[in-house]
Amino acid sequence: MPGTNRVKITFLELVFPPISNQEAYWLKDQPAAEFMRASDFYMIGGKARSKFTNLSVCEETMVISFDLCIGDDVKGSGKIEVLCLNAVENYEGEKFCVGAGKDEIEIFYYEGDGNKYLIERFTPENILWHRSRDIAGLSGLDNYKDLFCYDLLYVGIAKKGDTYDRLIKNGHHARLDILANEPQRYPGARVTDEIFLFLFRIEPLFVSTFGPDSEIDLDFGYDHKKIVADAEKAFVSLLQPHYNTVKFSQYPKGNDGLYDSKLDRYAYHIGEAITFNTAHGKIKGGRNRIFGGITNEADFIFVDKETSRLFIAGKDFDEDQKPNKSVEINCPKTALPDAG
């Protein structure tokens, strides 16, 4: 009869919208850092710079219309109903302003000291993330999954502390190497605007099954940092990002991961509608409107202590069904428009 079987499924969820390397410099030591500190797993990706074009703001309805371009090609169109945005609905002031340009769309206000304060801000990259989460007030960009794609350059973790300190506040060797060596992806663009940081937190789900004669033991030996360390090895060993000099070729074996844990099998996937490409393959994430990062739309890494493998949604299993038995995990106000 079967004994105890322990399984862990972990998805990665962004704690902050994707930001360019330039934006990370601007946000250093700003209040946004507190949100970033919720992450201790990160990725660095590259993509040709995007921009907003054909911007228009209707003063009567407060609707912003735009096209989204990558390079010179229009890739999608969308609308922002400013008055329907949650941040605007929760704003308690009497007046706010709208500013729209090729690099950002901002809703903001001025205090008596003359300083500008943001209510909401969209960039050509983070608007895809907002769209993937179906936020109120944003429509269009129905092909956001096709646009939310990056070259995966580096995967890293904060063994101690958080991603903000490891990646942004202090100097980081891989980030500097990337800025020094990556080519422009679009003529005239700065590399710092084409390198993007993804700040994730890991969300594990543990499942146990017991046989009729097995001892019930619900102690998984949970260690957050060990899960983080194992996740890094899983992604790097299979995808081999160019700027990760250590490829963890012996994974799943390792001293600081889950190899010696009580778990029998475990899996990892990205709980965001992002696709990362490398020379060794790609991994597609997914997000469910109801269950968030728990979804069969995402590719996943499956580990059984001795081997690891990347399973592709729609190829190795149906996106709207569970994986087949060979990989089954068995989880039984007024505004001042300023378009320019």
pLDDT given at position 164 = 95
- Same structural domain, 55 and 169: no
pLDDT given at position 24 = 94
Pull the structure tokens for residue 61.
């309805």
| DSSP-assigned states of every residue in 183-218 | PPSSTT--HHHHEEEEEEEEEEEEEEE--TTSPP--
Residue 54 covered by a domain: yes
**pTM for the whole thing?**
0.87
Pairing relationship of beta strands 95-100 and 195-209 according to DSSP bridges: unpaired
Residue 27 covered by a domain: yes
pLDDT at 306 over 70: yes
Residue 218 covered by a domain: yes
Residue 131 covered by a domain: no
- Same structural domain, 275 and 310: yes
- Same structural domain, 39 and 56: no
Q: Encode pLDDT of 16-74 as tens digits.
A: 999 999 999 999 988 889 999 999 999 999 999 999 999 999 989 999 999 999 878 99
- Same structural domain, 191 and 70: no
pLDDT at 326 over 90: no
Q: What is the layout of strands, in order, in the sheet containing 105-110?
A: 116-122, 105-110, 95-100, 334-339
Residue 135 covered by a domain: no
Number of domains in the chain: 2
pLDDT at 216 over 60: no
Pull the structure tokens for residue 158.
């904060």
pLDDT given at position 325 = 35
pLDDT given at position 255 = 85
pLDDT at 215 over 80: no
pLDDT tier for residue 150 given thresholds of 50, 70 and 90: very high
- Same structural domain, 194 and 307: yes
Residue 336 covered by a domain: no
- Same structural domain, 263 and 211: yes
pLDDT given at position 170 = 84
- Same structural domain, 31 and 61: no
Residue 340 covered by a domain: no
pLDDT at 339 over 50: no
pLDDT at 279 over 60: yes
Q: Stretch 230-245: mean pLDDT, rounded?
A: 96
Residue 146 CB coordination number (10 Å): 12
pLDDT given at position 218 = 54
pLDDT given at position 153 = 97
pLDDT above 90 coverage of the chain, percent: 65
pLDDT given at position 1 = 37
Domain range for 273 is 5-47+147-327
pLDDT given at position 206 = 57
Residue 160 CB coordination number (10 Å): 9
- Same structural domain, 233 and 297: yes
Q: Stretch 66-95: mean pLDDT, rounded?
A: 93
- Same structural domain, 116 and 205: no
pLDDT at 225 over 70: yes
Residue 332 covered by a domain: no
Q: Stretch 237-263: mean pLDDT, rounded?
A: 92
Using left for φ > 0, alpha for ψ between -120 and 50, and beta otherwise, residue 245 falls in alpha
- Same structural domain, 177 and 253: yes
- Same structural domain, 159 and 269: yes
Q: Average pLDDT of the chain?
A: 87
- Same structural domain, 172 and 300: yes
